[in-house]
Structure 1
């Protein structure tokens, strides 16, 4: 009886420690807008504020999160799909307490997986994410048949763009694509490499008006990141810019962005996508 009671206490403790993580996909319409850098620094900023974060590199063939951190990953998600390691084995330690899973060129194999491997992946992922407050997927630029399954499964989307006209057009295109497949996922927008906050607000206004006019869709301004020389210095040093110089304009803007996200000071935002992330992902992965 004593052993049974102890087992029950352990199980109850495990249940109490389980979390219901918020899942986010960070997307961009085109490459070269600083998406991965913002994903990484946003994750670190959340961790600095006391949240547990798992950052998942989904940039197929061009994963670079470990390079931005100056890390060498022992395993990547490709090793899991090759069947050589468990998903837990692929989790690496990042700066400021974040955990991350490195990407790899073989990630596109996901769509060719047999039912047994899809089951294995979703089961192991569902167990892992219970340890985190936030699971952030740094998606590749644009959208593919593989990546859209993850994008449509998450609770929220963060779109990264710059004030360049081509970047704005591409950002609208990917958000439109997502909207037409699921109109309930909240959209947050970050304007990177701005010369001034005014330029960033004007850029967001352009995107917001087009989304509202043509799709009847609201989007929420998450913030701007200035075109700051300290970011290039941090990239060369392979140190996240929020750690390289926490007093730089970019670091301050990033921290403010995180505070804004946490406080959810957005009129009209709701807890959408109540359908569990893993259930949605599994359903979409099994669709052929």
Structure 2
């Protein structure tokens, strides 16, 4: 009871200060573009600046955030849905002060539960995320019926691509799908593994051009992450790049992307008033759309 009262006090304090948890879904049109690695290191970059962040591994059956960190979790999301642990119990401590929820093979169960169990999940999620400034969903590659409910609920979507033609095509396809579903969802492009800054900028321009021509919308770009041997070395050592070598070129780029994003987020002119919603209330609505 005391714990619940403390949680309620924290929530009230955040609401009085006008703070709302910023929710981001990180997606890619195909696997193997470094999406999870970016999600992890972007979160570490936020945490290093004192921003509280929770990363939710949503890669159903293929979750690997804990592997990239070289850590093991006592519980995963599967344990929550099976009733073996509460939602707060499955939150694990990550590097540099970030928190994460490990993925598992049972995430889709939430969409098959009875209404009262869905209600409990939403209530539990509310109690957890209000402790954080940022909630980041590392989505599985591509889109399915389950992930769409989360994509429609978040404040914005990061699309990670590489300069490879197939990756660009798949990135456009996923952006088109999201746009046709909800044209108001902000889409932000990150080009990963670029061999040069110019190659990354060219990739951004190609995606922006096709979006402008065929979707009639302007895309935002967050930056280019260069191809960097240090990334592979960090993965091999199961350590986030920003912890392994924060002076590496890719690390500097990710830190700059995080800095740029935070600066844009505090500029109210960058975010339309229509996106000033609470994530959980939208998720609840979409989850009950049976």
Short-chain TM bin: over 0.9
State the TM-score, normalized to the length of structure 2.
0.93
The Cα of 1:17 is off from its aligned counterpart by: 4.2
Given that residues 55 and 135 in structure 1 are in contact (C-alpha distance below 8 angstroms), is that contact kept between their aligned partners in structure 2? yes
Match of 2:233 in 1: 233
Q: Go from structure 1 to structure 2 and tell me whether the alpha carbon gap of 1:11 and 1:154 turns closer, same or farther (over 3 Å shift).
A: closer
CA distance in 2, matches of 1:73, 1:119: 26
Match of 2:12 among 5, 15, 18: 15
Q: Is 2:56 the partner of 1:41?
A: no
The Cα of 1:11 is off from its aligned counterpart by: 6.5
Match of 2:285 in 1: 283
Total equivalences in the alignment? 281
Question: Which structure 2 residues correspond to residues 6-85 of structure 1 after superposition, within 5 A?
Answer: 15-17=12-14, 19-85=19-85
CA distance in 2, matches of 1:31, 1:114: 32
The Cα of 1:60 is off from its aligned counterpart by: 0.6
Q: Go from structure 1 to structure 2 and tell me whether the alpha carbon gap of 1:73 and 1:214 turns closer, same or farther (over 3 Å shift).
A: same
Gaps of 5+ in 1: 1-7
The Cα of 1:274 is off from its aligned counterpart by: 2.4
CA distance in 1, matches of 2:270, 2:187: 10
Given that residues 142 and 174 in structure 2 are in contact (C-alpha distance below 8 angstroms), is that contact kept between their aligned partners in structure 1? yes
Match of 1:216 in 2: 216
CA distance in 1, matches of 2:275, 2:264: 16
Q: Go from structure 1 to structure 2 and tell me whether the alpha carbon gap of 1:66 and 1:198 turns closer, same or farther (over 3 Å shift).
A: same
CA distance in 2, matches of 1:269, 1:237: 38
CA distance in 2, matches of 1:14, 1:280: 18
| Superposed CA RMSD | 1.9
State the TM-score, normalized to the length of structure 1.
0.93
SS in 2 for 1:131: coil
Gaps of 5+ in 2: none
Given that residues 58 and 139 in structure 2 are in contact (C-alpha distance below 8 angstroms), is that contact kept between their aligned partners in structure 1? yes
1:49-94 per-residue CA deviation (whole Å, 9 max, x = no partner) reads: 1100000000011000000000011101111111111100010000
The Cα of 1:9 is off from its aligned counterpart by: 11
Match of 2:203 in 1: 203
Match of 1:3 in 2: none
Given that residues 186 and 269 in structure 1 are in contact (C-alpha distance below 8 angstroms), is that contact kept between their aligned partners in structure 2? no
Query: Which piece of structure 1 moves more, 265-274 or 149-158?
Result: 265-274
The Cα of 1:255 is off from its aligned counterpart by: 0.9
SS in 1 for 2:74: coil
The Cα of 1:117 is off from its aligned counterpart by: 1.3
